[in-house]
A and B are shown apart, each in its own frame.
Chain A
Amino acid sequence: MAVKKSTGAEVLVDILIEEGVEFIFGLPGGSTIPVFDALVDKRIRLILTRHEQGAVHMADGYARATGKTAVVLVTSGPGATNTVTGLLTALMDSVPMVVICGQTPSSSLGLDAFQEADTSGITYPVVKHSYLLKDPADLPRVVKEAFYLAGTGRPGPVLIDLPKDISAALLEYGGKEDGRDFHLPGYVVPTRGDEEAIGRAARLLGEAKRPLVLVGHGAVISNASPELKALIETMQIPVVNTLLGKGAFPETHPLNLGMLGMHGTAYANKAVIECDLIMSVGSRWDDRIVGRYDEFCPAAMKIHIDIDPAEIDKVVKVDVGIIGDAKTVLAQMLPLLEPGDTADWVKRVGRFRREYPLKYKKEGKLRAQHVMEELYRLCDGKAVVVTDVGQHQMWAAQYMLADSGNNWISSGGAGTMGFGLPAAIGAQLGRPGEPVVAIVGDGGFQMTLAELATAGIAKLPIKIVVINNHYLGMVRQWQNLFYDERYSGVDLEGNPDFVKLAQSYGLKGFRITRPADIRRVLKAAMDYNEGPCLIDAEVEKHDNVFPIVPAGAALRNMILEPPKRKLEKPTGGT
């Protein structure tokens, strides 16, 4: 009996269902109409976004909140180019997703056909891998390979450029096993680490007097929390984490000193400065945490566990590099560990914590930190916290502690403004029934706020907290501290009334203007579960984030409070 023929689009959707895809985030156009048509009859939920950038960030938030590979579907030309920022964001932060872009029919490729863009060419630098489908027979293998590549090893976005004639073509699809014969001789997925290197690392950890573990996003991605906890508690080693490593080891644990780096806690940075050994678990020594590379822990032994061989010795030269999956490598290391004596060191970092706490004034004007502290308390530390990019992001990182890796979602590597709201929508879709709060700045929020409609239609009970300082605050902060207060391009005059804006989308709006209102309003917002609500927090306009390590400076040049004298312009970094 002949196998039934289906269109490429139908086969594509069938494969997505096989891969366990629950949602497709996207927006249609001429070249994807066959695929949107196929979606009508299939049980897969389409989330129609208001902009393709929103779709990619939603997929991103969904993937980070669930650990599953997310799917985006957009049209050719401008639809595809609108995904570029989201692809960069996902690539920088190793987020698994498959982005399917419609394309002009194969026969018109390169002829400047309507809405043709060289999508592959434009996106090579921002994808883990990509495909331009030329033959319908390749479709099953390509789609399955795309999922395999996106979700394994160091995860990342994989793009499929899908010409319209391929999605419309008839083909025979042989089911689950069809197209599983991947041939990827250039793709290796590291798992177990080198025994000898792990043995050396274990010995060094035991011998160190002042060891420190640096936890990065890799630890979250590989679900290494149980192994990490076992290692830390057996060895009694203090922990610092990166912005994206938040939660892999509970931030409320007495051994966790919180985030290090440019806006890290002073006690975390002091521990980094004094340690005699630092072991990174899935962190890539980003410039935001290391400051000056050549002055980063010069006297400390350095161990680096990473699944990506290209990260070892990239910026910080290490004494022991271990290529492998964080969870597996730590599990290999555990039986080899012999605890050293770290009691004095643990006591010392405890003293740093008491002597240099995070602080701000609760009296007077409304402070963003105060809003976040109360929000954290109200959520009992259990909410999924999604942020945008800027000052509010750093305050959230400082005050909204995370005890589980998937509960903190933020654009780290790319620092993409506009990420917060759509990512929160994706997170809430992936984790229904759990509290999701989006903490956004008035600047970044306005880059993707059209997705309020998307959130409203899906009745997602997201709490959107707009930290409204009427400025592009983080840039204003730099101009304030380092550029003689010569403000240039940072005043957000013309902001809408965000409460009315929310209402115009049919959403609930709240406003906080005084410290005394914080708890009452936040409580009302948390109790509101019929759909999204927006909380406009009118905060002090001129607040700066402290501590701050000027870009390109060594961690010891950290500034703890508003300086009395003028500061030099930062020497390096962005």
Chain B
Amino acid sequence: MANGMKEIGRHSLSLYVSNKPGVLNRITQVFSRRGYNIDSLVVSETQDPRFSRMNIVASGDRETLEQILKQLNKLVDVIHAKDYSFEDVIQKELVLFKIDCTAEVRTEALQICDAFKARTVDLSADTLTVEVTGTTEKLDAMKTMFEPFGIRELVRTGKVLMARGKAAT
């Protein structure tokens, strides 16, 4: 590239925002304007009903992301927005896997579940549905293990994160 390689990476952001209609729109526009892709997005309530928490995972170069963060912080409805990618925070994600699983391979599948501390949530003659939480890396690893069985469906909540100890996120 003309002006040197840009450092591309995945970024985990946490935003504390007003709980109002339209806020999500304003926020996603800041990303889409720069052609920055959002990989996952979690919006949820907080301890205070006036505010929502957003966790966004987005990939792209770090410099652009810094600019995006400043523009997010400029929005009247954004109380604060921060990149936690380089900090030691609690990070979790939940996934549901529905895999092809007949009686012959069930034991093998359940062994994998054991190893990943996954919980069986549904079982039929030829499918197995499990729930597992953990870091993105752990869930990715489990997906690799399940692929040979045939993954019929997969849904992930997207990453949520929280600062450790007394620190506020």
Q: Using known A-B contacts A120-B22, A310-B70, determine if residue A186 contacts B33 with beta carbons closer than 8 Å.
A: no
Residue A364 is within 8 A (CB to CB) of chain B in the complex: no
For A130, A149, A183, A185, which residue has the most chain B Cβ atoms within 10 angstroms?
Answer: A185
For B22, B25, B50, B74, which residue has the most chain A Cβ atoms within 10 angstroms?
Answer: B74
User: Which residue of A121, A129, A314 is within 8 Å of B76 (Cβ)?
Assistant: A129
> How many A-B pairs fall under 8 Å by CB?
42
Count, chain B residues at interface, CB 8 A: 22
CA distance A216 to B70 in the complex (A): 21
Residue A40 is within 8 A (CB to CB) of chain B in the complex: no
Closest to B51 in A: A185
Q: Is the CB of B73 within 8 A of A310?
A: yes
Within the complex, the shortest CB–CB distance from B36 to chain A, in Å, comes to 15
Q: Is the CB of A309 within 8 A of B26?
A: no
User: Which residue of A121, A125, A294, A309 is within 8 Å of B3 (Cβ)?
Assistant: A294
Residue B105 is within 8 A (CB to CB) of chain A in the complex: no
In the complex, which residues 3-31 of chain B have their Cβ closer than 8 Å to any Cβ of chain A? Answer: 3, 17-18, 21-22, 25-26, 29
CA distance A120 to B17 in the complex (A): 18
Q: Is the CB of A125 within 8 A of B22?
A: no
Q: Is the CB of B67 within 8 A of A187?
A: no
Contact with B along A122-155 (1 / 0, CB 8 A): 0011001110100000000000000001000000
Residue B77 is within 8 A (CB to CB) of chain A in the complex: yes
Residue B56 is within 8 A (CB to CB) of chain A in the complex: no
Contact with A along B47-76 (1 / 0, CB 8 A): 000100000000000000011001101111
Residue B78 is within 8 A (CB to CB) of chain A in the complex: yes
Within the complex, the shortest CB–CB distance from A298 to chain B, in Å, comes to 13
User: Which residue of A124, A128, A310 is within 8 Å of B22 (Cβ)?
Assistant: A124
CA distance A309 to B70 in the complex (A): 7
Q: Is the CB of B22 within 8 A of A184?
A: no
Which are the 8 A-B pairs with shortest beta-carbon distances? A310-B70, A186-B79, A129-B76, A187-B76, A186-B78, A310-B74, A185-B79, A310-B71
**Chain B interface residues (CB < 8 Å from chain A):** 3, 17-18, 21-22, 25-26, 29, 33, 50, 66-67, 70-71, 73-80
Ordered by A's residue number, 26 sampled pairs between the chains whose C-beta atoms are within 8 Å are A120-B22, A124-B22, A124-B25, A124-B26, A124-B29, A125-B29, A125-B33, A129-B75, A129-B76, A129-B77, A132-B21, A183-B50, A184-B76, A185-B79, A186-B17, A186-B76, A186-B77, A186-B80, A187-B76, A309-B74, A310-B67, A310-B70, A310-B73, A310-B74, A313-B66, A314-B70
